[in-house]
Amino acid sequence: MKNFSKIMLLAVIAVVLTFGAAFAKEYNDKESRLSVNIPDDWKVSSEGNVLEASAGEDINLIFETLKADDVEAALTEAEKALTKELGELKTEKTAEVEINGMKAYIEDCTAKEGKINVSVMLLATPGKKMVLLYYIGTPEAEKKYEAELTAIVQSLKPATTEETEK
């Protein structure tokens, strides 16, 4: 796991040095005080406490800011919605990680007999909120967009007060 983390960090540094900060737009959530960079060529929409980003039809990311008392209910609802849409989810691995000083719990799953990858992350933010991030994509799309997905996750960071007021 430590080697994987080192490889991921090196990959992120390589992406940032190669493409620089100009390849992505920064999105800040005032309520959670979370900042994330999404590639400019991805489709992004926002409604209420949900930010959605996609690169074509085969890969989607959804960020949902939860109220503290909604965490368990939101996880249950997300699991039901994913199971309804994709069928049974098979957990491949789970991990507790820290991303830019924020604690996160990650569960990686597959669905449709391995034809769809699903990753669910619960992230504790500086705004004392929990953000539910889930990713749905085909293994081919995951491979194609691996650098972008890694950069998005590694871009998750606490937003400063000035950033959230934009």
Domain CATH code at residue 97: 3.40.1000.10
| Residue 10 pLDDT > 80 | no
Confidence (pLDDT) at 68: 62
What is the distance between the alpha carbons of residues 159 and 26, in angstroms, rounded to a whole number? 10
CA dihedral in degrees (20, 25, 27, 28; nearest 10)?
Answer: 50
Number of domains in the chain: 1
3-state SS track over 42-110: CEEEEECCEEEEECCCCEEEEEEEECHHHHHHHHHHHHHHHHHHHCCCEEEEEEEEEECCEEEEEEEEE
Alpha carbon 150 to chain centroid, angstroms = 9
For residue 27, the enclosing domain spans 2-164
Write the pLDDT tens digit of every residue in 117-142.
Answer: 999 999 988 888 889 998 999 999 99
3-state DSSP assignment of residue 34: strand
Tokens of 4: 């994987």
Strands 157-158 and 50-54: unpaired
pLDDT at residue 77, rounded to an integer: 81
pLDDT above 70 (res 2): no
Token readout for 80 is: 């039901």
How many CA within 13 A on the CB side of residue 95? 12
pLDDT for residue 164: 46
Q: What is the mean pLDDT of residues 104-119?
A: 93
Q: pLDDT above 90 covers what percent of the chain? A: 58
What pLDDT sits at residue 24? 84
Beta carbons of 122 and 104 less than 8 angstroms apart: yes
- The per-residue pLDDT for range 27-64, each reduced to its tens digit, is 999 889 999 999 999 999 999 889 999 998 889 999 99
Confidence of residue 161 (pLDDT cuts 50, 70, 90): low
Q: Which of 19-33, 61-75, 134-148 has the highest mean pLDDT?
A: 134-148
Q: Tell whether pTM > 0.75.
A: yes
**In angstroms, rounded to a whole number, what is the distance separating the alpha carbons of residues 89 and 63?**
20
Phi and psi angles of residue 22, each rounded to the nearest 5 degrees, phi first: -75, -15
**Residue 48, phi then psi, degrees to nearest 5:** 60, -125
